Amino acid sequence: MIGTLKSIAYKPKDAPRVERGYQRLALPEARLVADYGIENDRKGGHPKRHLNVMDEVTLAELAAEGYPMGVGVLGENLILSGIDLRTLPQGAHLQIGGEAVIALLALREPCEQLTELDSRMPHAVKGRVGFMCRVVRGGLIRVGDAVALVSQPESA
């Protein structure tokens, strides 16, 4: 085990558009669906983005710099504790709970939507707003689940 699942958030398919920021609903548990993301997530299914995953280490750094915080505030779906995702290579696979496996595809490119939350964004947070991930194997995940590194690319 290298970490713990700290939070889960998603945007329900029937959620109305909000004027500012990201709209995310916190969940105690969710089902990850292979090649999609969180079941019934309006943002799921994109081939380059099933999930946005962040870690508490990076979020603490951003909070210390005065950025807005809270579950889903920066558009993330999962927050992991006990791990700094920036230390893992692209392509690494993480198992969450007993079944689900995600692959770290690429660092998330912060978008202009973040400017609505703080005028310093997106430029000041480049490389610090999580990883875009693909769901390799689905399964039920729960806040508090163990997170384990199950594989990483040969070149890492």
Query: For domain 3-12+24-151, is the CATH number 2.40.33.20?
Result: yes
Residue 59: Cβ within 10 Å count: 23
- pLDDT for 16: 63
Q: Do the Cβ atoms of 104 and 94 come closer than 8 Å? A: yes
- pLDDT for 22: 65
Q: Give CA separation, 123 vs 11, 72, 108, in Å.
A: 25, 19, 12
Residue-range domain boundaries for the chain: 3-12+24-151
- pLDDT for 35: 95
- pLDDT tens over the chain, length 156 residues: 789 999 999 988 776 666 655 678 899 999 999 999 999 998 888 887 899 999 999 999 989 988 888 888 888 899 999 999 999 999 999 999 999 999 999 988 767 677 677 777 767 777 878 899 999 999 999 999 999 999 877 654
Say what the pTM is.
0.88
- pLDDT for 69: 82
Paired with 55 in beta bridges are 80
